[in-house]
């Protein structure tokens, strides 16, 4: 983890960070993944979404949120008049865990310095955590997503950078629990209002 942290910190642009991640051999998930899933969208956008880990479609395309969850994310974004060209999207874990199993705590810790560095290099005005894994990892809290969602938090990066962060429900959860979509819409509306207030 210490090596990953130094390695990530030595990247001074997103392109350098992507290259370092592509060459990083410290995470076993890389061996079974087809592609590095780095990010999608516009790093200048002002809002950055962080999910958990790529699934099958993301692994094949090398882009985050392009499968069923991604299609739902696109529809929710459209409802607040955003699309993926106007946001930036990444995951805590950049390689697909085999069979879409949950990443282990060790895998998450190994990958954490890379997403933290990515957040720092993008410097969004607002961060949105898609689901409990992203929220718990990056906000350092054991609280469950159903308690966290809908309330602004502050993400504090290793360098001391502070960014308003909104935890919300993961699109894959919403596909299984459509009754909770209205909660996610509320959270996205909060994000939209915050972006407007900050622009």
Closest to ligand URA by CB, 146 vs 197, is: 146
* Least distance between ligand URA and beta carbon 196 (Å): 26
Distance CA 4, CA 158 (A): 13
Q: Pick the closer one to ligand URA by CB: 52 or 190.
A: 52
- By beta-carbon proximity to ligand URA, the closer residue of 110 and 172 is 172
**Structural contact between residues 136 and 164, judged by C-beta atoms closer than 8 angstroms:** no
Shortest approach of ligand URA to residue 183 CB, angstroms?
Answer: 18
Taking Cα atoms as reference points, which of 29, 82, 27 lies closest to residue 54?
29
Task: Give me the least distance between CB of 94 and ligand URA, in Å please.
Answer: 9
Residue 179 is classified by DSSP as G
Question: Does residue 192 contact residue 83 with C-beta atoms inside 8 Å?
Answer: no
Report the residue number, 51 or 124, with the smaller CB distance to ligand URA: 51
Q: How many whole angstroms from its chain centre is CA 176?
A: 20
> Which single residue brings its beta carbon nearest to ligand URA?
51
Q: What is the rounded CA–CA span in Å between residue 179 and residue 193?
A: 23
CB of 69 to ligand URA, least distance (A): 4
**What phi, psi does 81 have (nearest 5°)?**
60, 40
Task: Report in angstroms how near the CB of residue 27 gets to ligand URA at its nearest.
Answer: 16
Chain residues that interact with ligand URA, rule: CB under 6 A = 51-55, 58, 64-65, 69, 91, 172
3-state SS, 112-147, equals: HHHHHHHHHHHCCCEEEEECHHHHHHHHCCCCCHHH
Nearest residue (CB) to ligand URA, 69 versus 108: 69
């Amino acid at each position: 983890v210490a090596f990953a942290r130094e390695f990530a910190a030595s990247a001074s642009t997103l392109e350098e960070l992507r290259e370092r991640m592509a060459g990083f051999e410290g995470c076993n998930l890389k061996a079974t993944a087809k592609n590095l899933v780095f990010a999608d969208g516009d790093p200048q956008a002002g809002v950055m979404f962080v999910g958990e880990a790529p699934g099958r479609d993301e692994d094949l395309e090398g882009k985050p949120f392009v499968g069923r969850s991604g299609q739902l994310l696109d529809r929710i974004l459209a409802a607040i008049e955003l699309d993926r060209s106007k946001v930036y999207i990444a995951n805590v874990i950049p390689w697909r865990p085999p069979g879409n199993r949950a990443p282990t705590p060790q895998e998450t810790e190994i990958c954490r310095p890379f997403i933290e560095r990515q957040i720092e290099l993008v410097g969004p005005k607002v961060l949105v955590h898609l689901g409990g894994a992203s929220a718990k990892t990056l906000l350092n809290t054991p609280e469950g997503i159903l308690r966290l969602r809908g309330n602004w938090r502050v993400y504090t990066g290793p360098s001391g950078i502070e960014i308003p962060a909104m935890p919300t429900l993961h699109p894959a959860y919403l596909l299984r629990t459509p009754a909770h979509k209205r909660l996610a819409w509320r959270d996205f509306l909060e994000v939209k209002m915050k972006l407007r207030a900050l622009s």
